[in-house]
Amino acid sequence: MTTIIIIFHLAACIALILIVLLQTGKGASLGAAFGGSTQTVFGTSGAAGFFEKMTTAVAVIFMVTSLSLTYISAKRGGESIMKTPVVEESAQPIKQEKASPAEELPTAPAIPSPLEDKGAE
């Protein structure tokens, strides 16, 4: 079901883009571009009424498919890409001996003080 809705959604997206790009400004007409009269390609009312109706119909289809896909994905729920990994417990726990406090922290190498070097000169 989701695949069918996605196909309709993509078709509506492409159709909406094409319809909007085919629409002309108020001063130009589509019929003049093809060498005909200005109002004869889509009837006496011109292309404006046809493209307005097509834009409205395709926009409604786009909105319905968008809401349907949102509803389906929300209803699916419970799944996350950020799942915590499952930790398997071994049969025998590993025993670790505690080190003495002196062994836990590494010692830093001794850095000579710049004041000590000046006294040697």
For residue range 53-69, list pLDDT tens digits in order: 999 999 999 999 999 99
Q: What pTM was estimated for this model as a whole?
A: 0.48
CA–CA dist 90, 102 (Å, integer): 31
Does residue 76 contact residue 69 with C-beta atoms inside 8 Å? Answer: no
Query: Any idea where the domains of the chain sit in the sequence?
Result: 40-76
CA–CA dist 51, 48 (Å, integer): 5
pLDDT reported for residue 105: 63
For residue range 78-118, list pLDDT tens digits in order: 666 677 666 666 656 666 666 566 556 666 677 776 766 55
